[in-house]
């Protein structure tokens, strides 16, 4: 069985072209699944100039990385990328393709599945190879339960939740790189990104951050998110928000965590003045450690929290920041 891992890459303002963390998670998940099934894990990298970084996948269990390198793929195109991935899977006679459940992966997966006439298991938190089949575990009922999915189609498309499949270095050898030709024409770029804006905050992407500090409606107004930002910056984390805070216009939609926002699984999630509606819990309940700060002792967020502080966020957060500045020698 051949398993292809789509390794997502992006240009960063200072670092230039590099793999996103989710690329290594997808690669590592594919390599582990290949071992269980007695198969082979292959990397797939798509973009402009990506051949230079492709060997880096070797440290995460992939011995060979296939590259589709085209200047026109420097900017993301839903239609072109979906065609490239589907064509690569067909060309390599692969059985399974794994993508991250990132913004790009969520956009691509159903399109790739349709092109391959494949079944799709989305937002998976565990994969298991058993009897030649792939058993994918994913959350259902807004994260209240888990279900095991057996994809019965010959080809299978799977997306994995970021920060769940923690990548571990398998070996230090670089992957061998082979260019994969895919015929592209102008009609394949009917939908494409024309421009990107880099956030000036310098914080990690919300879906890739290992630490997230989120604020809710209980903060009272947009000006009070300054203390959330300060705590997040001290921790080297990202800033999130509840839907209520976003709907009120206090934060951009990109910051929204929840069923209608982004699904996150950081190592540490600090929920400040967030009651914990089921829609919000669906987006963050798989976080490894959850800290809830709320003055309402009966707030639902405490039911999923590992640590809870009942009190006034306007007293607790500034004190936390002050103690962190002292510990970090930033006073």
Structural domain range at position 271: 211-327
CATH for 217: 3.40.50.1220
Give Cα separations from 208 to 101, 159, 237, 243, 246 (angstroms).
Answer: 11, 15, 10, 20, 20
- Classify residue 47: in a domain, yes or no: yes
Q: Average pLDDT for residues 111-139, to the nearest whole number?
A: 94
Same domain, 180 and 34: yes
- Could you tell me if 177 and 222 lie in one domain? no
The pLDDT value recorded for residue 201 is 63
**Structure confidence by residue, pLDDT tens digits, 226-270:** 999 999 999 999 999 999 999 999 999 999 999 888 989 899 999
- Residues 289-328 have pLDDT tens digits of 999 999 999 999 999 999 999 999 999 999 999 999 999 8
Same-domain pairing of 145 and 282: no
Q: Tell me: do 106 and 177 sit in the same domain.
A: yes
Q: Which residues are CB-contacts of 118 (< 8 A; sequence separation ≥ 6)?
A: 97, 112, 151, 153, 154, 155, 156, 157
Residues 162 and 21 occupy one common structural domain: yes
Q: Indicate whether 236 and 105 sit together in one domain.
A: no
* Among the listed residues 142, 166, 113, the one whose alpha carbon sits nearest the alpha carbon of residue 261: 142
Residue 45 lies in a domain: yes
pLDDT digits (tens, 9 = 90+) for 48-103: 999 999 999 988 888 899 999 999 999 899 999 999 999 999 999 999 999 999 98
Closest CA to 94 of 3, 198, 193: 3
Where b means 16+ CB within 10 Å and e means fewer, 133-156 reads: ebbbebbeebbeeeeebebeeebb
Token pair 């794994």 in the structure block, residue:
98
- Whether residues 122 and 160 fall in one domain: yes
- Stated as kind and residue range, the H or E segment containing 289 is strand 289-294
pLDDT at residue 215 is higher than 60: yes
- CATH code: domain of residue 95: 3.40.50.620
């Amino acid at each position: 069985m051949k398993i292809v891992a789509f390794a997502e890459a992006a240009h960063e303002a200072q670092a230039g072209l590099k793999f996103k963390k989710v690329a290594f998670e997808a690669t590592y998940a594919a390599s582990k699944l290949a071992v269980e099934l007695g198969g082979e894990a292959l990397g797939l990298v798509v973009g402009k100039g990506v051949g230079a970084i492709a060997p880096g996948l070797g440290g995460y269990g992939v011995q060979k990385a296939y590259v589709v390198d085209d200047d026109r793929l420097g900017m993301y195109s839903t239609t072109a990328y979906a065609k490239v991935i589907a064509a690569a899977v067909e060309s390599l006679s692969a059985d399974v393709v794994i993508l991250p459940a990132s913004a790009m992966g969520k956009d691509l997966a159903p399109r790739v599945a349709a092109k391959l006439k494949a079944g799709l298991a989305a937002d998976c938190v565990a994969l298991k190879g058993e009897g030649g089949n792939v058993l994918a575990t994913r959350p259902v009922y807004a994260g209240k339960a888990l279900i095991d999915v057996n994809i019965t189609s010959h080809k299978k498309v799977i997306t994995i939740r970021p920060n769940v499949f923690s990548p571990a270095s398998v070996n230090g050898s670089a992957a061998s790189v082979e260019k994969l030709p895919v015929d592209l024409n102008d009609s394949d770029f009917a939908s494409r990104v024309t421009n990107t804006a880099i956030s000036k905050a310098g914080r990690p992407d919300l879906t890739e951050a290992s630490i997230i500090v989120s604020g809710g409606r209980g903060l009272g107004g947009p000006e009070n998110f300054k203390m959330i930002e300060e705590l997040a910056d001290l921790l080297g984390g990202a800033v999130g928000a509840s839907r209520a805070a976003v709907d009120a216009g206090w934060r951009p939609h990109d910051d929204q965590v929840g069923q209608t926002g982004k699904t996150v699984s950081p190592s540490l999630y600090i929920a400040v003045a967030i009651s914990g509606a089921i829609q919000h819990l669906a987006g963050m309940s798989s976080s490894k450690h959850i800290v809830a700060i709320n003055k309402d002792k009966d707030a639902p967020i405490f039911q999923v929290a590992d640590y809870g502080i009942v009190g006034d966020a306007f007293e607790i957060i500034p004190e936390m920041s002050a103690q962190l500045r002292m510990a970090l020698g930033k006073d």
